Structure 1
């Protein structure tokens, strides 16, 4: 055998034991008369020792000739370490080696395999298999495995059945762009990779599997962000014979279980907030409620003076930033510059310092009386020592910009603590949203989402007012899950397709299989999907998902390690009945 123990398990109780270890060379220290090698595997590091008194010269020379990241097998006796290292679990012992074998030599790696490395992100992604040897990456992948195992154990214990659904499916026009796969056997026809297993899990409910889940790969051909990849993993779930409260209770239970088992955090009942309330109070449908800074609308107390910026605005709204009245003029000017950045897009910012002595100092003192500023403080909940930041303009964009400012201030003030968790259900989303570019309504969630009970008729008279029987689970300002109660009868689904601009023929061509299934006793059903990558990152105290994925893509959607995507040869193109367009050159 290659090893009797791992490099992380030996301690003083093993002294006098003969062991065999295998791993990679972390570090070599050669003092001439003695050589130490730190041998590393997934489990830890053990120090190997070779010295002139107890080791043959050939063995000493063999140790000296080893290099960083060589794969070694070492056999010897566990002895007490003269200079102990209390920072290492194995720091009280070392192995006096009597036999050493090089299992595989290594070139010098392009960056140091240490917790703090000298390798840039692109270089480490190119050599991702080396990056995985580093503790920060390795531990994140192990952490992800723990979370996935807890999900499986919990849902299985609640009677859910894990079912695999197909990866080669039919392309549909709703949602993000599909990745398409040409069919060799069917000239001119294509599969699509699933953006989610949505219709299949609904068909499983028709099939009588009333509690389904799957940890499943999904694909979307869309622009990249730090928390988005072209392929991602969902915890996909569906239940039959349920209403909204049943779904929320079931998956609040799963989330509580994960917080307790993974993070040691006990949580009570999750608060619930309507979509309209979230937008009004926080300017976002995924608010971070770990801190305050709720919006205060100021139209009634700010549009009565001769200040045209406010008077011409649809909305005047502000937040009270705790303790920020101490900001210098330079710091406030930098904040104004921040909101003017193209990524935010505000024209400027009005501020009010709420001084500790109860007085006020603002950037619009020549237009407003102290009594006006006091009214603004009441509306925003500002206390002495706070800074009121105010934006104005069209309601939707202004709320979005103030939400971005709120999150930025929370970041600067250290209010977004990675070890604090504040879950929240956001419910009652609009069923439809109007797209100016196409001039028609689109499903805010997806076409199979049911309207709230009693609101179907509103589709004919006021589509924008219809609320969806949909819900999102938000954790620390991130949407970690979303779902809905589904439409489960053919007639309602046909009405929904019509309002989304489908002709009967188009609806039949795209989703006829589902509407047919609804004719054979489809039960009421609903579900939810969690983004596993994002959930794992948040539980792990991070915002970016990339290090929790074994082989991620870069910001351009490329795998720089295997160089994908890449061209395919002419013979494959011919087999797939495809032709490349001539380049512009």
Structure 2
């Protein structure tokens, strides 16, 4: 080893020890006759002192030329610091250098390698290997490793077997766009990178593996956001001979285990909510339940009062913002402008202040009496001092707009505390969604999701009314996982493909291997997949997953560090039979 100790472990108990340290020069302070160097590695920082009275003359001269991020090895003696640094674990000691060598010099970094850096995000992504040297990024990656290990330990302790599945598979038309890989040996044919190991884990259940898991890379060629990457990591799981309750119980246990193991938090409540209830109360299927502001529908008490804007709408819905009656007109106008932005697309916002004296002041006073507004307040459960915000319009669109507003207000009021964790299950999703453009059903989750057992007969008569035997795991307003009981009967699977518009030939070409497997004694099975990137980010108190990925891509799907994607050599294109033909 090039070192006897790390830069984070030495203390007063090591006084007098001869040690060898190796690491990066964080910074230097040069007084001419004395030089201090902060030496950094993954474990911490130790101060090195070069002294003209106590250090070798040649060593002191060499130290004059040290720059930031030089990689050095230092031999010396642990001594007590005169001026201690209580902010460092090693702040009571320093190393009196006796000799050292430069293992590698460094150019001046493009940004400062410190907790608070002067480097912008794009620059830091370009030099990600330097960014990883900073404490916040390094600690995020270490945190991710701890979470992954805790997951593996929990699942292994419950008899799950880690099995790897292929990365080169067949493209399917359902779901997001695939990344495709041309096959050199099979001209004109392509592999796809998996969006999920879905069919393989089902086949493992047919194969009798009973309980499977895999922490696996998946790929989706879709538009990107702060919480999405073209490649992402999934905790993929499947279980045999189970019903929905078995899976909810097992993975409720996993999240409780993680919160206790990683955060030291005991979670006692783990509520369940139907999809319909979530949409009605919160306007989306992944509600943040750390705070209130539940929706209340006001059609019966807000329409028919002469306010035409409301009278012609499908839905009138409101929320009570706690303590916001003190908002100024400027603050309320800012909210109105916020919902009118193209990203939200609302036409406006009606407000009612619930005054401390029991009276009400609103933007529609000339249409509604004090008794009318009192009934609004009662419906949305607003108290004195609260602000009621009301929107109207198409039901689905308006719920989505009010949901966005609810989250924005919660952010402004500091109600989304990253140190508070509120998990829940959302269940009973619709099995199918009707698409007006293509005039056919699409699977709400995927084509292998089983219907609710008691609604199986409706597949033939009213498929749009069927609920899926599916569930999503939600944490702090983010979907961190989703799964379902799977179809294990080939006839039911054929019916599902038929409802989704597959011809028998298409179904056979795409999924014939699975259909055939089901004819060889496929057991009842179900599973779940959790997004590791997002789960780790939320547990780490953030929602941007890039901060917890070693080498992330930007919002355009580019890796700025290696400059990918990139063009490939014309000879490679020819070998893959992808070369563009020149016009004669």
Q: TM-score when scaled to structure 2? A: 0.99
Q: How many equivalent pairs are there?
A: 583
CA distance in structure 1 between the aligned counterparts of 2:460 and 2:366, rounded to whole angstroms: 51
CA distance in structure 1 between the aligned counterparts of 2:184 and 2:478, rounded to whole angstroms: 41
- Counterpart of 1:571 in structure 2 is 571
Asked if 1:278 is matched to 2:278, the reply is yes
Asked if 1:75 is matched to 2:66, the reply is no
Tell me, what secondary structure is at the counterpart of 2:464?
helix
RMSD, matched Cα: 0.9
- Counterpart of 2:144 in structure 1 is 144
Higher alpha-carbon deviation: 41-50 or 434-443: 434-443
- Counterpart of 1:170 in structure 2 is 170
- Counterpart of 2:295 in structure 1 is 295
- Counterpart of 2:264 in structure 1 is 264
CA distance in structure 2 between the aligned counterparts of 1:267 and 1:489, rounded to whole angstroms: 38
Tell me, what secondary structure is at the counterpart of 2:455?
coil
* Mapping for residues 375-394 of structure 1, pairs under 5 Å: 375-394=375-394
CA distance in structure 2 between the aligned counterparts of 1:114 and 1:79, rounded to whole angstroms: 26
Asked if 1:2 is matched to 2:40, the reply is no
CA distance in structure 2 between the aligned counterparts of 1:582 and 1:366, rounded to whole angstroms: 73
1:243-280 Cα distance to aligned partner (Å, 9 max, x none): 00000000000000000000111011410000000000
* Mapping for residues 311-326 of structure 1, pairs under 5 Å: 311-326=311-326
| Cα drift, residue 304 of structure 1 | 2.2
Tell me, what secondary structure is at the counterpart of 1:99?
strand
- Counterpart of 2:233 in structure 1 is 233
CA distance in structure 1 between the aligned counterparts of 2:377 and 2:310, rounded to whole angstroms: 17
- Counterpart of 2:186 in structure 1 is 186
CA distance in structure 1 between the aligned counterparts of 2:67 and 2:575, rounded to whole angstroms: 48
* Mapping for residues 332-371 of structure 1, pairs under 5 Å: 332-371=332-371
- Cα 1:12–1:581 shift into 2, 3 Å: farther
- Counterpart of 2:401 in structure 1 is 401
- Cα 1:445–1:582 shift into 2, 3 Å: farther
CA distance in structure 1 between the aligned counterparts of 2:142 and 2:54, rounded to whole angstroms: 39
Tell me, what secondary structure is at the counterpart of 1:276?
helix
CA distance in structure 2 between the aligned counterparts of 1:58 and 1:549, rounded to whole angstroms: 43
| Cα drift, residue 579 of structure 1 | 2.6
- Counterpart of 2:122 in structure 1 is 122
* Mapping for residues 516-535 of structure 1, pairs under 5 Å: 516-535=516-535
- Counterpart of 1:56 in structure 2 is 56
1:543-577 Cα distance to aligned partner (Å, 9 max, x none): 10001000000000000100000000110001001
Tell me, what secondary structure is at the counterpart of 1:520?
coil
* Mapping for residues 78-117 of structure 1, pairs under 5 Å: 78-117=78-117
Q: Which runs of 5+ in 1 are unaligned?
A: none
CA distance in structure 1 between the aligned counterparts of 2:47 and 2:61, rounded to whole angstroms: 17
1:361-397 Cα distance to aligned partner (Å, 9 max, x none): 0000000000000000011010000000000000000
CA distance in structure 2 between the aligned counterparts of 1:241 and 1:200, rounded to whole angstroms: 17
- Cα 1:581–1:293 shift into 2, 3 Å: farther
Tell me, what secondary structure is at the counterpart of 1:212?
strand
| Cα drift, residue 582 of structure 1 | 8.0
* Mapping for residues 148-163 of structure 1, pairs under 5 Å: 148-163=148-163
Higher alpha-carbon deviation: 474-483 or 454-463: 454-463
1:118-139 Cα distance to aligned partner (Å, 9 max, x none): 0000000000000000000000
1:477-507 Cα distance to aligned partner (Å, 9 max, x none): 0000100000001000000000000000000
CA distance in structure 1 between the aligned counterparts of 2:353 and 2:97, rounded to whole angstroms: 69
- Counterpart of 1:420 in structure 2 is 420
2:56–2:99 contact (8 Å) kept in structure 1: no
| Cα drift, residue 464 of structure 1 | 1.8
Higher alpha-carbon deviation: 287-296 or 430-439: 430-439
| Cα drift, residue 64 of structure 1 | 1.1
CA distance in structure 2 between the aligned counterparts of 1:576 and 1:456, rounded to whole angstroms: 47
- Counterpart of 2:429 in structure 1 is 429
| Cα drift, residue 61 of structure 1 | 1.2
Asked if 1:558 is matched to 2:558, the reply is yes
CA distance in structure 2 between the aligned counterparts of 1:366 and 1:84, rounded to whole angstroms: 70
CA distance in structure 2 between the aligned counterparts of 1:356 and 1:544, rounded to whole angstroms: 40
- Counterpart of 2:255 in structure 1 is 255
- Counterpart of 1:45 in structure 2 is 45
- Counterpart of 1:441 in structure 2 is 441
1:134-165 Cα distance to aligned partner (Å, 9 max, x none): 00000000000000000000100000000000
| Cα drift, residue 57 of structure 1 | 2.1
CA distance in structure 1 between the aligned counterparts of 2:357 and 2:72, rounded to whole angstroms: 70
Tell me, what secondary structure is at the counterpart of 1:65?
coil
* Mapping for residues 489-568 of structure 1, pairs under 5 Å: 489-568=489-568
Tell me, what secondary structure is at the counterpart of 1:73?
strand
2:278–2:285 contact (8 Å) kept in structure 1: yes
Asked if 1:28 is matched to 2:28, the reply is yes
- Counterpart of 1:135 in structure 2 is 135
Tell me, what secondary structure is at the counterpart of 2:519?
helix
CA distance in structure 2 between the aligned counterparts of 1:79 and 1:337, rounded to whole angstroms: 62
Tell me, what secondary structure is at the counterpart of 1:45?
strand
CA distance in structure 2 between the aligned counterparts of 1:502 and 1:559, rounded to whole angstroms: 37
Tell me, what secondary structure is at the counterpart of 1:68?
coil
Q: TM-score when scaled to structure 1? A: 0.99
2:206–2:522 contact (8 Å) kept in structure 1: yes
Higher alpha-carbon deviation: 449-458 or 469-478: 449-458
- Counterpart of 2:222 in structure 1 is 222
Tell me, what secondary structure is at the counterpart of 1:454?
helix
Q: Would you identify which runs of 4 or more consecutive aligned residues in structure 1 move more than 4 Å?
A: none
| Cα drift, residue 581 of structure 1 | 7.6
CA distance in structure 2 between the aligned counterparts of 1:217 and 1:223, rounded to whole angstroms: 18
1:82-114 Cα distance to aligned partner (Å, 9 max, x none): 000000000000000001100000000000000
- Cα 1:324–1:242 shift into 2, 3 Å: same
